[in-house]
Amino acid sequence: MRDPYQVLGVARGVSSEDLRKAYRKLAKEFHPDRNQGNEKASDRFKEISAAYDLLGDADKRAKFDRGEIDASGQPRARGFGGGGFRPGGDARSGTYNAGGGFSGFGFDPNAAGEDIFDEIFGQMRRGRGAGAGFGARNANRPMRGADRHFNLKIGFLDAARGCKRRLTMPDGKQLDVTIPPGLGDGQQIRLRHQGDAGRNNGEAGDALIEVTVEPHAFFTRQGDDLHLELPVTLDEAILGAKIPVPTIDGMVAVGVPKGASSGTTLRLKGRGFPLKGGASDQRGDQYVKLKLVLPEKPNSALEKLIESWAKTNKYDVRAKYTVD
């Protein structure tokens, strides 16, 4: 596998946030759902997912940067470490150091180079100490499969109420994904054992699904609270009224107090998003900000009424807006 940094097109010192952005951009471009029947795009998507699986995990990334694991996440062989033989061990105990360290072979450090390798490989053929330097002891150890990363886009109300979606994997397998109510943009869902198959009977990795929540036409979310700007007519604002207000559960009737100004905010308790980690009936609030809207077309009767009223009812709404 290629260097994961090159696969994602980032430098080694890249921040976690920029790494995530680079992955999301590439994953969207090469996702199988957008490249039906394109085998090259499917292979590229697999490569991108595997690279982010390694670099997106802080522990794996650190091990890779230190050279402890390779690009596929497997431990590197520690026999020929580079840098030449460095005498300094005990030949009897088999702790002679060779750049990354041969250990357990018990060869003579004073022997000629050809004799040393003859002895090493002769011992490997005879089964003596071969596992110590070349990882043969762990060759058949069960290895967990790699996690796979996916993106899933859902609507604002689906995130609020919860929903089910079907996800197509690069190999054509389909997964039914349950979106819990209240999920936020950028949060992940983990599907156990739906990633890459393990090796030597090891358990499969997981599927990690990052959810993107599309914006709504008039609702906005702040934490677990919802905010909405709602138009009201002149008579509703002056006289007060019961008006229909949209919520994620449907329309509800809300009372507008008499004399409500544009900007007056009404609180609808328990009409927001489900609280993360809370009980099923625990939710945030919805805040409705009133916006006074006049008739679209000029109204002569209204104009005459306001002119008559204004002659005897002067009030200064900009008194505090002065500059010394």
| Sequential DSSP letters for 224-284 | TEEEEEEEE-HHHHHH-EEEEEEETTEEEEEEEPTTPPTT-EEEETT-SPBPTTS-TT-B-
Q: What is the pLDDT of residues 105-160, one digit of tens each?
A: 343 444 444 444 444 444 444 444 444 444 555 667 888 988 888 889 999 999 99
Separation of alpha carbons 320 and 96, rounded Å: 85
Q: What is the pLDDT of residues 84-105, one digit of tens each?
A: 333 344 433 333 333 343 333 3
**With bands split at pLDDT 50, 70 and 90, how would you rate the model's confidence at 212?**
very high
Which CATH fold topology does 1-74 show?
Helix Hairpins (1.10.287)
Separation of alpha carbons 256 and 190, rounded Å: 44
Of 148, 144, 15, nearest to 75 (Cα)?
A: 144
How deeply is 66 buried, as exposed, middle or buried, from its count of CB atoms within 10 A (0-12, 13-18, 19+)? exposed
Q: Which DSSP symbol is given to 69?
A: B
Could you tell me the CATH superfamily of domain 220-312?
Answer: Urease metallochaperone UreE, N-terminal domain (2.60.260.20)
Pairing, β 188-191 against β 163-168: unpaired
Domain ranges of the chain: 1-74, 220-312
Give the pLDDT of residue 57. 86
Mean pLDDT (whole number) for 185-203: 89
Cα–chain center distance at 247: 28
Q: pTM for the whole thing?
A: 0.57
Averaged confidence pLDDT in the chain = 80
Q: Which DSSP symbol is given to 74?
A: P
